[in-house]
Amino acid sequence: MKTDIEISQAATMAPITEIANKVGFSPDSIEQYGQYKAKIPFETIKAKDSEPSGKLILVTSINPTPAGEGKSTVSIGLADGLNRIGAKTSLALREPSLGPVMGVKGGATGGGYAQVVPMEDINLHFTGDMHAITTANNALSALIDNHMQQGNALQIDARRVIWKRVVDLNDRALRQIVVGLGGPMQGVPREDGFDITVASEIMAILCLADSIHDLKRRLGAIVIGYTYQKEPITVSDLQVEGALALLLKDALKPNLVQTLEGTPAFVHGGPFANIAHGCNSVMATKLALHASEFVVTEAGFGADLGAEKFLDIKVPVLGKAPDAIVIVATIRALKMHGGLPKNELAQEDIASLKEGYANLQRHIRNMQRYQIPVVVALNEFVTDTEAEFQTLVDLCQADQVEIRRCAVWAQGGAGGEELAQAIVEITAGNGTTNYQRLYQDDASIEEKTAAIVKKIYGGKQVTFSQKATKQIQSFKQYGWDELPICMAKTQYSFSDDPTKLGAPTDFDVTIREFVPKLGAGFLVALTGDVMTMPGLPKRPAALNMDVTDDGQAIGLF
């Protein structure tokens, strides 16, 4: 059996000009980055603005388990499948972060015969977006520390700087650090730390901004910390939003690549789905919609995290709700949600499957609550039995939801045609859904948080720590209480306890602390321990990586 990188390196890619042509861009209207990557400049985007919008398909999943769900693979295979049955389709996906690639993952561009390529480039530096974000983030840190060093006119309290530095790597030693040591010429000593780049507010901003103008406005609104009088200080106060926007001007342009089957793929932006909203950029999604009949996009982690944020945070900015939602599940993962241990997943086990279906069922009902049609995509594994499949079909039928098998890993787009057909049928019609938001922005912070915890997670109630309660009061004073809530919660469970699989009930969720993200335009509610800087494993994927003398990558997968 071929590995992902072998499949990808054996593929014959079309020149990116040809892919661009499929979505109506002439060679002169794109910025090529090598033969197989391009950025789409602002003039080209503007010229597409008047085109009608295609249909938007959001791919999400059950709560992830170590058994694997394959959400990206299904998204890619579905898009290829749609093109195969004659629906002009593009992808709008997130960019991988180098940290996990060098750490555990080894790559994040789909798998098998459902991949976006060139996978080596996309997994490594791609068109430099991550690096631009890292640089802008750290330039802001340097400017903050320099401001304190050079007289501190804004009276920044070094103990209350909330802006952290970033690297796009897994580096636990940088989680908690002390900077500015070495005496008065080396800066103001203070506690600091590095997050991974995809956790930077600037990443979230890049993904929500719809123009350079909006980018600059959002950058200016970032709260970097507080004065000695506890008044918030923004980037505008430092007068550096222009410089930061300048560093990001090219990163804001959507990237274009292709799938193994030549489907245009806009791969752009990749905010963490815990501390941020976990979806690709508004710029790319909008552009893809104006350039295609169907756009397949994806949200991070399970539907309780990524899809909820897509629907409640991204959709209002995008101005367009999904026309259908695909929930990816695997029989293996459902059996795990039903209590079967990881080493027994290869065995048929109808009872565990039925038990674990509760997880899928709650996600289905949650998505239906938004008044958007739902299809379940069963991502097939060789160990699945026909009896298990039939059980799942029966369960879905009882819940009146469509389910389709998917064999895109092994077969590419051909294995996604059945799902594609269902999507075309379910979205046929005048093209608007009755999308309903979960909450309105003018509800109180407590109400909005409770709506998510009770209606989406299935929790009993939400409690706020003393700190969070105090923050709610000051946020009202600052006028920040009309922002949506971005939950930071474990992806493994509906609850804030990663060990509670399936569909737990009767649990409370505690909000430990809020983090204001005024530039992104949301308030992060922290539950449990949120990891914003991963560590490397005992044997990092990097140890398997190499490059041949003629420049071919080895060890990405």
Binding-site residue positions for ATP:
65-72
List the binding residues.
65-72
- Say if CB 101 and CB 556 are below 8 A apart: yes
Per DSSP, 3 falls in state -
Q: What is the DSSP letter of 219?
A: H
Q: Which is nearer to a copy of itself, 142 or 351 (CB)?
A: 142
Q: Which is nearer to a copy of itself, 52 or 184 (CB)?
A: 184
Separation between Cα atoms, residue 335 and residue 392, nearest integer Å: 11
Report the nearest approach of a copy of itself to the CB of residue 105 (Å): 14
Comparison of 183 and 479: residue with beta carbon closer to a copy of itself? 183
Q: Is 389 a catalytic residue?
A: no
For residues 395 and 341, what is the distance between their CA atoms, to the nearest angstrom?
22
Instruction: Rank residues 243 and 410 by Cβ distance to a copy of itself and give the closer one.
Output: 243
| Binding-site member from 162, 410, 443, 542 for a copy of itself (CB under 8 A) | 542
Instruction: Count Cα neighbours of 516 within 13 Å in the Cβ-side half-sphere.
Output: 24
Q: Indicate whether 159 belongs to the interface with a copy of itself (CB under 8 A).
A: no
Question: Scanning residues 21 to 60, which ones bind a copy of itself (CB under 8 A)?
Answer: 31-35, 39, 41-43
Residue 328 CB coordination number (10 Å): 29
Decide: 337 and 501 in contact? Cβ < 8 Å. yes
Interacting residue with a copy of itself among 279, 289, 553, 557 (CB under 8 A):
553
Token pair 């390529």 is found at 117
Q: Which of 11, 91, 174, 530 binds a copy of itself (CB under 8 A)?
A: 174
Q: Answer yes or no whether residue 479 interacts with a copy of itself by CB under 8 A.
A: no
Minimum distance, C-beta of residue 192 to a copy of itself, in the bound complex (Å): 8
Catalytic residue status for 301: yes
Q: Total number of residues binding a copy of itself (CB under 8 A)?
A: 78
Kindly state the tokens that stand for 71.
């959400």
Q: How far is the CB of 528 from a copy of itself (least distance, A)?
A: 15
Asked if 71 is an active-site residue, the reply is: yes
The reply to whether 523 sits near a copy of itself by the rule CB under 8 A is no
Told to judge if 512 belongs to the known catalytic residues of this protein, a careful annotator would answer no
Q: Does 498 bind a copy of itself (CB under 8 A)?
A: no
The minimum distance between CB 163 and a copy of itself, in angstroms, equals 12
Question: Following DSSP, what letter does each residue of 181-213 receive, concatenated?
Answer: -SSGGG---EEE-EEEGGGSHHHHHHHH--SHH
Is 449 a residue of the active site?
no
- Report in angstroms the alpha-carbon separations of 78 from 16, 71, 117, 236, 348: 21, 10, 16, 43, 27
Say how far apart CA 420 and CA 386 lie, in whole Å. 22
Helices assigned H by DSSP within 452-524: 466-478
From 22, 37, 48, 71, the catalytic residue: 71
Q: Which run of H or E residues covers position 117?
A: strand 114-117
Residue of 67, 104, 162, 246 that binds a copy of itself (CB under 8 A):
246
Taking CB under 8 A as the criterion, the residue among 7, 240, 311, 406 binding a copy of itself is 240
- Residue closest to 424 by CA, chosen among 293, 257, 530: 293
Give the residue numbers marked as catalytic: 71, 73, 94, 105, 273, 301, 381, 409
